[in-house]
Amino acid sequence: MTRYASIDIGTNTLRLLIASVDAQGAVRHEVYKRKITRLGGDYAEDTGIAPASAGRTFDALVEFSRTIADCGVEAVYAFATSVVRRARNRDWFVGEVEKRTGIKIAVISGDEEARLALTGVMSVIDTRQGRDLVIDIGGGSTEFIFTDKGRLTGAWSMEMGVVHLTEAHLFSDPPDRAQIGALEAAVTAVISRLKERAEAGGIDVAAFSAEQGAVFVGTAGTITTLAALELNLEVYDRDMINGTRLSKAAIEQMYGHLLSLTLSERGRILSLEKGREDLIIPGAAITLKTMEAFGFDEILVSDAGLLEGIIIDRCRRGAVAQKTMEG
């Protein structure tokens, strides 16, 4: 089968998936790599991406390009999201990546990121039964995706990411109560704006609650890390993560415990990905505050998301183009 590579250049994590797609459209993972490069670290609005953060990411992409060459893929789809999207120096960054690796990056909008993430989630989670609110927590932004029987009815990309929240609010180790209070207040304010925008965009927000039969679905690093912690996984296993249900009570317990630990103590937890010791705090806060705001008491976890969505979407486009040519 033909192999494809997708690369997600995020504000915190760089991810590579090399996969094939079978006749039924199922993505078969062959190679998966991830590196936390914290591209959005020390980001400044007036200068953009910091040179040291870019350097770490360039090095990781060079490694990814070698892996891709070794695997003999048919096509490479590299997408950049939040921090590159907003950076003043994004053209420099994109040009440097192509010069050093030969990889051409597409900088996608928040709406496109949400659509592709939903496509990936739907490859492992059945969202065709009713209303779902899908959350994709990233380093620089969080996508909120509203669906009805598998159809996207609205999506909003909010400037609320775990890297920027960490740098803005968490200063001591462990963070004190005042810092956590400021963090949670900032998250609550963004979610309130989300609900206002969704209502203005024609979404009946009240219908997206557990009381009304809606399901809360989560993808990306924060949610899968919380699932790994709950399952006590010493080695990450996507098959075990997909479909896991995390209760609000379980997340609250994890959040409280993690808040009591120093970074070093969190680093000794085998289920917690290295490099995410500080970021799991704002990630858990976003998850819990969203659950409170929409009345959910559990979240359904999807390991699949943007990476899988990119490949599925491109394969579908190719199939449509081929059918058009043959017709």
Cα(57)–Cα(279) distance, rounded to whole angstroms?
Answer: 18
Look over the chain and give the mean of its residue pLDDT values, rounded to a whole number.
90
Task: Report which of 87, 224, 228, 58 is spatially closest to residue 164, judged by C-alpha positions.
Answer: 87
Could you say which DSSP state residue 206 is in? Answer: G
Residue 142 is given by DSSP the state E
pTM here is: 0.87
Are 223 and 135 within 8 A, CB to CB?
yes
Residues 49-78: pLDDT tens digits? 999 999 999 999 999 999 999 998 989 999
- Which residues sit opposite 105 in a β-bridge? 78
| pLDDT surpasses 90 at 253 | yes
Confirm if 186 and 165 have CB atoms less than 8 A apart: yes
- In this prediction, residues 18-40 reach a mean pLDDT of 85
- Single-letter code of the amino acid located at 146: F
pLDDT confidence bin for 6, thresholds 50/70/90: very high
Q: Encoding tokens for residue 198?
A: 């969704």
**Full set of structural domains in the chain with CATH:** 3-110 (3.30.420.40), 124-303 (3.30.420.150)
Instruction: Provide φ and ψ at 64, rounded to 5°.
Output: -60, -40
Per-residue pLDDT reduced to its tens digit, 160-182:
999 889 999 999 999 999 999 99
Q: Is the pLDDT of residue 41 over 90?
A: no
Q: What angle do CA 137, 6, 141 make, to 5 degrees?
A: 20
Based on its alpha-carbon atoms, the radius of gyration of the chain, rounded to whole angstroms, reads 19
Whether 300 and 243 have beta carbons less than 8 Å apart is answered as yes
